[in-house]
Chains A and B, each alone.
Chain A
Amino acid sequence: MRQCSFDVHAYDEEDDAIVSADDRCVGCQRCATYCPTGAITIRLSERDFRLNANWRPEHLMDIKRQAETGGVILTGMGNDKPYRIYWDHLLLNASQVTNPSIDPLREPMELRTFLGAKPDRLRFADGRLLTELAPQVRLEMPILFSAMSYGAITYNAQLALMQAAEECGTLCNTGEGGWPRDFRRFGKNVIVQCASGRFGVDFDYLNQAAVVEIKIGQGAKPGIGGHLPGEKVTPLVAETRMIPVGTDALSPAPQHDIYSIEDLSTLIYALKEATNYEKPVSVKIAAVHNAPAIASGIARAGADIIAIDGVRGGTGAAPKVIRDNVGIPIELALAAVDRRLRREGIRNRVSLVAAGGFRSSADVIKAIALGADAVYIGTAALVAMGCTLCQQCYTGKCAWGITSADPVLAKRLNPDIATRRLVNLVKAWSLEIKEMLGGMGINAIESVRGNRLHLRGVGLEEWELETLGVRGAG
């Protein structure tokens, strides 16, 4: 009964029975998981509206709630609508007879990835490299933890992500909500964000991190800003964001110093000046219709990394209408951006990081074959920590201590256990990627990068294959 943070269960003294208010249940599975006798089952129960393929229960419920409140409907996590998931229509190749597959248990397999701008050409003299290289960050595997702000996720959840990034030799992104001082010790494994709110962005913040990322947009809510309500601005959140306790933290929709590619370039170089040209600067955008042209502009504006977040990317809070209707799938955006940058001969100038709903190691390797250098995982990392995708993050009542605002609920996440689970996940995916590479007869992830010959489409239309740059199977 106490496990439920959504007040579903109550004890009726008179009847000596537990009663449940079923309509409040969000299906987070906390009670069922923690029931000592396994007595609880959570079943889907739709309201008994008359069946209607057009007016589905979700529409009716939303209309009724909006008629009551007059407000925008909020939600959490990523788009849950059945748009086509292209990963499920792309199949990988394997070696048979003509080139032998490789056993990853016996042969070394290279997953190491460097993010940062690569030179157009290298010049040597007397065996020494003359070309000045742009700053690079080294990842042991092409998987990074996406931006999740402290305040949206709990202290323990962010701690677990940072510890796991350090242990795995990869990076974790602070999100735009600042960077708690105690976590600066993880600097070598941290990407900090500079977004429209500029929360906590100061000299130390920029210089302690490995990468600085300018956040233009995110897949779950392209084109709109954010707003952390004053109630969630606790003393530590206030210190991290550098705003007074209890005030609203507002992230305007655009960064008001960026109205053009030239303005973006000005900010990129301001950040490079502020960090003495020692750190790669990333620019994160939501995958939108014109992503290839925008990405070309970003590359020319001087960014070292472009992160693209697809329509299925998660969030702590977003208007549902935006989450479910704005943006395009990462598969199409990634393939189109990679092709455009190649055609323009500037693909080497930036690393591409894809984000937005990566569910398995297969999705990751397919993204790399479509042109990504690495992949951001957010939702998968939360699921590893215990999340059940109940989509209630914005309520602050997360029953798993991941996005909970209530300090008692927040204690439910043990950061060391969560770290272990994250590390296990990344290790497991890395092993699986090695297995798949071995099966293709390849021993380095580099050989798959942008190599669409390793992919074949099934059940896709002509235009989809063309956008993806992939041939149909058979």
Chain B
Amino acid sequence: MLREDSALSDRVLSIDTSGVYYRDLNKMLREGVAKGAREFVLRGVTGQRYIGTGLVERVSIKIFGTPGNDLGAFMDGPSIEVFGNAQDGLGNTMNSGKIVVHGNAGDLLGMAMRGGKIFVKGDAGCRSAIHMKEYRDMRPTVVIGGTARDFFAEYMAGGEVVLLGLTLPPGVRHSCAFMGTGMHGGRIYIRGAIDPSKLGKGVIIQELSEPDWETVKARVAEFAAYFDMDAGAILSAPFVKLCPASTRPYGVLYAGRN
């Protein structure tokens, strides 16, 4: 059901999505992949949900406009680049692939993400990067150029999230409350000042170790490359690391046998 204004040339499929229902759009993408398209250019995107969901091939999708909720949810492979802002649920329970957003993201970015990478140039909403996990060589990465809102990186169980604070005015601290509550794995790196009273219960601030620095440098370099920024300048400011005070925050709540 490819529309007539969709042009498939050199395995690049360009779709004018204005007025296309999300279900139809995603079907077009699936059908396009089945027909051999490797790259999609979606223009005029206005809130269509679930773009990239259910795609497992390593195709690339360029999105112009504003994609809707759950962009790349349950995604396993594609690379998405958004020229605009992303909404809620970006990369929800994503398994592999990459999402680059030239703008801000809504709530729940990277929720329960298990693999792949997300780079956001601007800020992220509430509950970003919560309950990320890792397994063997699957290590999810989230880099947020600006700041995030409350409940940032709660229940962190694996992978890494880097918060750069580039959108904060000089002298202003990250203001997200309950950062890292329930953290029991993974790594949270933050550039810029944070208010210790805003940390979640059981989370402590630490200096970065040498391997931490290597990770941060690599992630920042990749971030800077996508958005044409100066990695050196970003890295020249101090970073801190958030860690769980105990690796078993939930281990001591229970009495023995009944």
B54 and A275 contact, CB distance less than 8 A: yes
Nearest first, the 5 closest Cβ-Cβ pairs linking A and B are A71-B255, A198-B112, A242-B135, A69-B255, A274-B74
A250 and B155 contact, CB distance less than 8 A: yes
A266 and B157 contact, CB distance less than 8 A: no
A238 and B157 contact, CB distance less than 8 A: no
B254 and A71 contact, CB distance less than 8 A: yes
A243 and B133 contact, CB distance less than 8 A: yes
The docked-state distance in angstroms from the alpha carbon of A250 to that of B157 is: 9
List of B residues within 8 angstroms of A201 by Cβ: 74, 93, 112
Instruction: Please name 6 pairs of A and B residues whose Cβ atoms are closer than 8 Å in the assembled complex, sorted by A.
Output: A73-B255, A73-B258, A244-B134, A247-B247, A256-B151, A395-B257
Assuming the contacts A243-B158, A274-B54, A392-B257, asked whether A202 and B248 have C-beta atoms less than 8 A apart, the reply is no
B54 and A256 contact, CB distance less than 8 A: no
A252 adjacent to chain B (CB < 8 Å): yes
Q: Mark B36-74, 1 if CB is under 8 A from A, else 0.
A: 000000000000011001101000000000000110011
Interface of B is mostly: loop
B250 and A273 contact, CB distance less than 8 A: no
Cross-interface CB contact of A74 among B135, B151, B154, B258, cutoff 8 Å:
B258
How many residues of chain B are within 8 Å of chain A by beta carbon? 49
Q: Which chain A residue lies CB-closest to B56? A: A203
A198 and B93 contact, CB distance less than 8 A: yes
In the assembled complex, how far is the CB of residue B2 from the closest CB belonging to chain A, in whole angstroms?
A: 17
B182 and A202 contact, CB distance less than 8 A: no
A62 and B258 contact, CB distance less than 8 A: yes
Interface size band for A: 35 or more
Residues B194-239 near A (CB distance < 8 A): none
Interface residues of B (CB under 8 A from A): 23, 26, 30, 49-50, 53-54, 56, 69-70, 73-74, 76, 88-89, 92-93, 95, 108, 111-112, 114, 127, 130-131, 133-135, 138, 151, 154-155, 157-158, 182, 184-185, 247-258
A89 adjacent to chain B (CB < 8 Å): no
List of B residues within 8 angstroms of A62 by Cβ: 258
The docked-state distance in angstroms from the alpha carbon of A247 to that of B53 is: 29
B254 and A74 contact, CB distance less than 8 A: yes
In the assembled complex, how far is the CB of residue A64 from the closest CB belonging to chain B, in whole angstroms?
A: 10
Q: Which chain B residue lies CB-closest to A207? A: B54
A449 adjacent to chain B (CB < 8 Å): no
Interface residues of A (CB under 8 A from B): 26, 62, 65-66, 68-75, 194, 196-198, 201-203, 206, 227, 229-230, 238-239, 242-244, 247-248, 250, 252, 256-257, 266-267, 269-271, 273-276, 319-320, 391-392, 395
Residue of A72, A73, A270, A320 with most chain B CB atoms under a 10 A cut-off: A270
List of B residues within 8 angstroms of A273 by Cβ: 23, 26, 49-50, 53-54, 73-74
The docked-state distance in angstroms from the alpha carbon of A228 to that of B134 is: 16
B95 and A203 contact, CB distance less than 8 A: yes
The docked-state distance in angstroms from the alpha carbon of A206 to that of B53 is: 12
List of A residues within 8 angstroms of B182 by Cβ: 250, 252
List of B residues within 8 angstroms of A243 by Cβ: 133-135, 157-158
Assuming the contacts A227-B250, A257-B89, asked whether A75 and B258 have C-beta atoms less than 8 A apart, the reply is yes
The docked-state distance in angstroms from the alpha carbon of A459 to that of B93 is: 50
The docked-state distance in angstroms from the alpha carbon of A248 to that of B182 is: 11
In the assembled complex, how far is the CB of residue B51 from the closest CB belonging to chain A, in whole angstroms?
A: 9
